Structure 1
Amino acid sequence: MKTTIQHNNTTIQVDLSKPIDISIPLSNTEDNPIAWYVEKPVIEPVRFGEWVGKVSLGMSSTNFNNIQFNPHGHGTHTECLGHITHDFYSVNQALKQFFFTAELVSVELEDQEYDFVITKEAVEHALNGKRPEAIVIRTLPNDADKVSRKYSHTDPPFLAEDAALFLRESGIQHLLIDLPSVDKEKDEGKLLAHKAFWNVTDVKNLNADARLDCTITEMIFVSDEVKDGSYLLNLQIASFENDASPSKPVLYSVLEVE
């Protein structure tokens, strides 16, 4: 089903019948990915005395579950600069548009004295002069166990500060990555890549040019079957008034641009 979309004075033709979901589903199983030292999500029926909100137990006409999870630690999530600021900022207020031109790039990690890093040079080479609204970074090697990996205390790869600065200076508004964070797991709270991308110099006194409408989406997964190139991104979040929300980024192949 080919559909023509008018986006920022550009006509883009996509096939909406072939979505490419790059989110990781949240579950209460051992297969759920975990980061930041939390336990797996909890999904369980509500209980009032002997009554249990689960149809299969014969006490309820509906399944009625409570869900306990952490958006940063339990799967694909989108965050705004409120993630690192003293004052509260909500991702639900920051993200008001949901379709963006996007470039999917695959980058090799560079070994830098026991750290594996996404360098500025790798990102710049992968973009090759393109300036999309969003970038989707797939790190190589692209192991399928990213969808269930336990990241805590493993010092995962991260994005170099100058790479995040390059993305900001390139005008990229939305950064999506298949890692639990753009920053190093244990960095003494420096959060260099977050700050560089959002242009935050003081977390207590936000500078006037901080990027309030830009987002970072972490813990995505893009299978090897999806080719690098240009896409239309639909970035959807749940309506949480919080610094971050679980999210469902979906790519659509661009068939034609006018």
Structure 2
Amino acid sequence: MKAIIDWNDKKYEINFSKLHDLSIPMQSGDANPNAFHIPSPRFEPIKVGDFVGSVAQGSGANCENLMINAHGNGTHTECIGHITKERVSINQSLKHFHYVAQVISLEPIQLPNGDWAVPKDDVENRLEPNIQALIIRTLPNSSDKLTQFYSGNNPCYLLPELTALLAEKQIEHLLVDLPSVDREEDAGAMAAHKAFWCYPEKPRINATISEMVFVENSIADGIYFLNIQIASLETDASPSKPVLYGMDCIG
């Protein structure tokens, strides 16, 4: 199936049979990314009386309880409710699901305090006009990110001046292959999150941040058509499946 869209006064063809899934599969146990010392996900057969939800254990059907935390167990998309006293859900915030997105690969820089961060200037110099979403791939990039243990290791993050720039450029959706856009230990400041969501001054209710995506090396930097899929959960974040499709200019 194909579609044609208008963007930046040009027509682009999208081939929905050619896609790139940016999500990291979540499974029961430790073979997942781990952030903030959050327990690993567990998928266990439900037990109700004599019923055990496992065909392997003699039942007629499989039925599992899922014990997960979106923020620490893998690819997830979060809304402004992640940092507000008021309860705001990802299900109520994310109302559109298709966007023109740009993929940018960047090498983090080392800060004077020894931390590693994504540089603002490199992003600003490469941003295309009128994109709705930005996907940042940090270098070096490898499949180690599929099971990376980030907890306690002070991983790379984004500086608030970068996320403020993205808000100024009206980029609604930010996707990163990091466990958080903020420093692991920041005394609760959440400065990069707040700058992106313009909180509390002018809250961007419909903007989202997706973390722990994985952008394979076969995906070139450039412009794509992005679909963000979430579960309809009335909480601040959901496990998600961002999917990229190529956009070919046809006139």
Q: Percent identity of the aligned residues? A: 45
Map of 2:55 onto structure 1: 55
- RMSD value, Cα: 1.6
Structure 1 position 215 matched with structure 2 position 208: yes
- Distance of 1:30 and 1:235 partners within structure 2: 25
Aligned counterparts, 1:1-258, within 5 A: 1-5=1-5, 11-58=11-58, 60-112=59-111, 113-127=113-127, 129-201=128-200, 207=201, 209-256=202-249, 258=251
Letter in 2 for 1:21: D
Q: Contact 2:228 / 2:243 at 8 angstroms: preserved in 1?
A: yes
Q: CA 1:163–1:14 in 2, change beyond 3 Å: closer, same or farther? A: same
Secondary structure (helix, strand or coil) at the match of 1:73 reads helix
Q: Tell me, in whole angstroms, the C-alpha distance in 1 between the residues paired with 2:71 and 2:119.
A: 23
Q: Deviations over 1:26-77 (max 9, x none)?
A: 101321111111121010101134431111222x111010000001011111
TM-score, with structure 1 as normaliser: 0.92
Q: Deviations over 1:61-112 (max 9, x none)?
A: 1101000000101111101111000111111011110000000000110011
Do the aligned partners of residues 49 and 104 (structure 1) sit closer, same or farther apart at CA in structure 2, a change above 3 Å counting?
same
8 Å CA contact 1:79–1:217 kept in 2: the answer is yes
**Contact 1:119/1:162 (<8 A) preserved:** no
CA distance in 2, matches of 1:20, 1:157: 24
* SS of residue matched to 1:18: strand
How big is each residue's C-alpha offset from its partner over 1:117-172, in whole Å with a ceiling of 9 and x where there is no partner? 01211211232x43310000000111211110111101000001111111111110
Counterpart-to-counterpart distance in 1, 2:250 and 2:73: 36
Q: In structure 2, do the counterparts of structure 1 residues 92 and 257 end up closer, same or farther at CA, with 3 Å as the change threshold? A: farther
Q: Which digits, 9 at most, give the CA deviation of each residue in 1:194-241, with x for residues without a partner?
A: 00000003xxxxx4x210010000000001010000000001110000
Aligned in 2, Cα 1:34/1:257: closer, same or farther, shift over 3 Å? farther
With 103-112 and 10-19 compared, the bigger mean Cα shift is at 10-19
- 1:7 deviation in Å? 6.9
Unaligned stretches of 5+ in structure 2?
none
2:12 and 2:62 map into 1 onto residues whose CA distance is 42
Structure 1 unmatched ranges of 5 or more: 202-206
